[in-house]
Chains A and B, each alone.
Chain A
Amino acid sequence: MENQIEGRKSSLKLLVLPAAILLFSIIYIAWEVTSGSMLLDVDLSGGTQVVFSTDSQPDVSSLERLLASYRPTIQTANSLSGWIVSINVPIETNTTQLLSTLSTAGLPVEQASVQTIGPALGAAFFNQAMIAMVVAFIFMSLAVYFTFRVPVPSAYVVLSALADIIEAFAFSQLLGIRLSLATFAALLLLIGYSVDTDILLTARVLKGEGNLKELIKRARKTGLTMTGTTCAALFALFAISGSATITQIASVLLIGMLFDIINTWITNAKLLTWYVERKRSTS
Chain B
Amino acid sequence: MTNWKRVLKEWRILLLILLVTISAVWILPGGPGGVIVKSVSSDSPLAGKVAAGEIIEWMNEQTITKPADIYVFENFTGTLRFKHNGKLDLAQVTVPGLGLTLDSRSSSRLSFGLDLIGGTRVLLEPVGVNVSSAIIDQSIATLQTRINIYGLKEAKFQSVSDITGHRYVQIEMAGATPSEVENLLARQGMFEAKIPKALHFSNGTASLLNHTVGLSDGKLIVNGRQLSVNETFDLGGISWKYVNSTGDQAIVLATVFKGTDIKSVCLVEQAGVCTSRIQQVQGGYEFMFQITTGQEAAQRFADVTRGMASIVDPQSGSAYLESKIYFYIDDKQVTDLTISSDLAGRALQEPSITGFRTVREDALKEKLSLQSILQSGALPVQLKVARMDSISATLGSGFLKSIVFAGLLAAAAVATVILFRYRRWKIVVPMILVSFSEVLIILFGISVISYTLDLAAIVAIIATLGTSVDAQIMVIDELTMKEKIYTFKQRLKRAFFMIFGSAGTVFAAMLPLAIIGIGVMRGFAIVTMMGVLIGVFITRPAFARLAEFVIEHESRKEREAPKSEPQPSAEPAQV
Residues of B contacting A128 in the complex (Cβ-Cβ under 8 angstroms): 162-163, 516-518, 521
A-B CB contact pairs (8 Å), 14 listed: A118-B125, A118-B385, A121-B386, A135-B511, A139-B512, A148-B501, A192-B509, A228-B421, A229-B413, A233-B410, A233-B465, A239-B409, A246-B403, A246-B458
* B473-A229 in contact (CB<8A): yes
If over half of A's interface residues share one DSSP class (helix, strand or loop), that class is named, otherwise mixed; here it is helix
Residues of B contacting A140 in the complex (Cβ-Cβ under 8 angstroms): 505, 508-509
* B505-A192 in contact (CB<8A): yes
Q: Which of A24-32, A196-204, A272-280 contacts B (4 or more CB under 8 A)?
A: A196-204
The reply to whether the CB of A142 lies closer than 8 angstroms to some CB of chain B is yes
Q: How far is the CA of A179 from the CA of B207 in the complex (A)?
A: 76
Could you say which of A112, A222, A239 has the most chain B C-beta atoms within 10 Å of its C-beta?
A222
* A181-B520 in contact (CB<8A): yes
* B403-A230 in contact (CB<8A): no
Q: Number of B residues contacting the other chain (C-beta, 8 Å)?
A: 76
Q: How far is the CA of A151 from the CA of B251 in the complex (A)?
A: 86
Residues of B contacting A246 in the complex (Cβ-Cβ under 8 angstroms): 403, 406, 455, 458-459
Beyond A117-B386, A232-B417, 11 extra complex contacts between A and B, CB < 8 Å: A115-B387, A116-B388, A118-B384, A120-B386, A124-B162, A132-B512, A193-B467, A199-B501, A226-B470, A235-B413, A237-B406
Q: How far is the CA of A136 from the CA of B388 in the complex (A)?
A: 29
* B473-A240 in contact (CB<8A): no
Query: Contact flags (1/0) for B368-399 with A, using CB distance below 8 Å?
Result: 00000000000000001111111111111011
Question: A118 with B512: in contact, given A143-B504, A207-B497, A222-B477 (CB under 8 Å)?
Answer: no
Could you say which of A53, A113, A129, A222 has the most chain B C-beta atoms within 10 Å of its C-beta?
A113
The reply to whether the CB of B502 lies closer than 8 angstroms to some CB of chain A is yes
Residues of A contacting B164 in the complex (Cβ-Cβ under 8 angstroms): 124, 127
Q: How far is the CA of A228 from the CA of B410 in the complex (A)?
A: 12
Question: A131 with B512: in contact, given A200-B474, A243-B399 (CB under 8 Å)?
Answer: yes
The reply to whether the CB of B484 lies closer than 8 angstroms to some CB of chain A is no
* B390-A114 in contact (CB<8A): yes
Query: Contact flags (1/0) for B446-480 with A, using CB distance below 8 Å?
Result: 00000000011011001101110110011001000
* A196-B413 in contact (CB<8A): no
* A241-B406 in contact (CB<8A): yes
Residues of B contacting A129 in the complex (Cβ-Cβ under 8 angstroms): 521
Choose from A81, A118, A136, A195 the contact partner of B510 (Cβ within 8 Å).
A136
Choose from A117, A199, A226 the contact partner of B387 (Cβ within 8 Å).
A117
Question: A225 with B473: in contact, given A116-B385, A132-B516 (CB under 8 Å)?
Answer: yes
Q: How far is the CB of A66 from chain B (nearest CB, A)?
A: 21
The reply to whether the CB of B345 lies closer than 8 angstroms to some CB of chain A is no
The reply to whether the CB of A191 lies closer than 8 angstroms to some CB of chain B is yes
Q: Which residues of chain A from 211 to 247 have a CB within 8 Å of any chain B CB?
A: 218, 221-222, 225-226, 228-230, 232-237, 239-243, 245-246
Residues of B contacting A142 in the complex (Cβ-Cβ under 8 angstroms): 508
Query: Contact flags (1/0) for B498-540 with A, using CB distance below 8 Å?
Result: 1011101111111111001110110010001000000000000
Closest residue of chain B to A133 (Cβ to Cβ) is B512
Residues of B contacting A230 in the complex (Cβ-Cβ under 8 angstroms): 466, 469-470
The reply to whether the CB of B123 lies closer than 8 angstroms to some CB of chain A is yes
Shortest Cβ-Cβ A-B pairs, 8 listed: A242-B402, A192-B506, A139-B508, A232-B413, A147-B501, A135-B512, A233-B410, A236-B410
* A131-B388 in contact (CB<8A): no
Question: A143 with B505: in contact, given A80-B402, A121-B125 (CB under 8 Å)?
Answer: yes
Q: How far is the CB of B128 from chain A (nearest CB, A)?
A: 12
* B389-A113 in contact (CB<8A): yes
Question: A232 with B386: in contact, given A80-B402, A121-B125, A191-B509 (CB under 8 Å)?
Answer: no
* A79-B413 in contact (CB<8A): no
* B125-A232 in contact (CB<8A): no
Residues of A contacting B497 in the complex (Cβ-Cβ under 8 angstroms): 147, 203, 207
* B477-A113 in contact (CB<8A): no
Residues of B contacting A146 in the complex (Cβ-Cβ under 8 angstroms): 504
Q: How far is the CB of A84 from chain B (nearest CB, A)?
A: 8
* B474-A226 in contact (CB<8A): yes
Q: How far is the CB of A265 from chain B (nearest CB, A)?
A: 15
Residues of A contacting B389 in the complex (Cβ-Cβ under 8 angstroms): 113-116
* A115-B388 in contact (CB<8A): yes
Chain B residues with CB under 8 Å of chain A are 123, 125, 162-164, 166, 178, 384-396, 398-399, 401-403, 405-407, 409-414, 416-418, 421, 455-456, 458-459, 462-463, 465-467, 469-470, 473-474, 477, 481, 494, 497-498, 500-502, 504-513, 516-518, 520-521, 524, 528
Residues of A contacting B498 in the complex (Cβ-Cβ under 8 angstroms): 199-200, 203
Choose from B162, B390, B411, B467 the contact partner of A113 (Cβ within 8 Å).
B390
Question: A136 with B386: in contact, given A146-B504, A233-B414 (CB under 8 Å)?
Answer: no
Question: A121 with B512: in contact, given A192-B505, A200-B498, A225-B421 (CB under 8 Å)?
Answer: no
* A195-B387 in contact (CB<8A): no
* A196-B416 in contact (CB<8A): no
Question: A203 with B494: in contact, given A53-B398, A121-B123, A229-B470 (CB under 8 Å)?
Answer: yes
* B395-A192 in contact (CB<8A): no
The reply to whether the CB of A52 lies closer than 8 angstroms to some CB of chain B is yes
Closest residue of chain B to A257 (Cβ to Cβ) is B466
Residues of B contacting A139 in the complex (Cβ-Cβ under 8 angstroms): 508-509, 511-512
Q: How far is the CA of A225 from the CA of B409 in the complex (A)?
A: 18
* B406-A113 in contact (CB<8A): no
Residues of B contacting A70 in the complex (Cβ-Cβ under 8 angstroms): none
Could you say which of A118, A184, A196 has the most chain B C-beta atoms within 10 Å of its C-beta?
A196
Q: How far is the CA of A136 from the CA of B528 in the complex (A)?
A: 14
Could you say which of B395, B497, B507 has the most chain A C-beta atoms within 10 Å of its C-beta?
B395
Closest residue of chain B to A161 (Cβ to Cβ) is B505
Closest residue of chain A to B502 (Cβ to Cβ) is A196
Could you say which of B163, B407, B421, B466 has the most chain A C-beta atoms within 10 Å of its C-beta?
B466
Residues of B contacting A89 in the complex (Cβ-Cβ under 8 angstroms): none
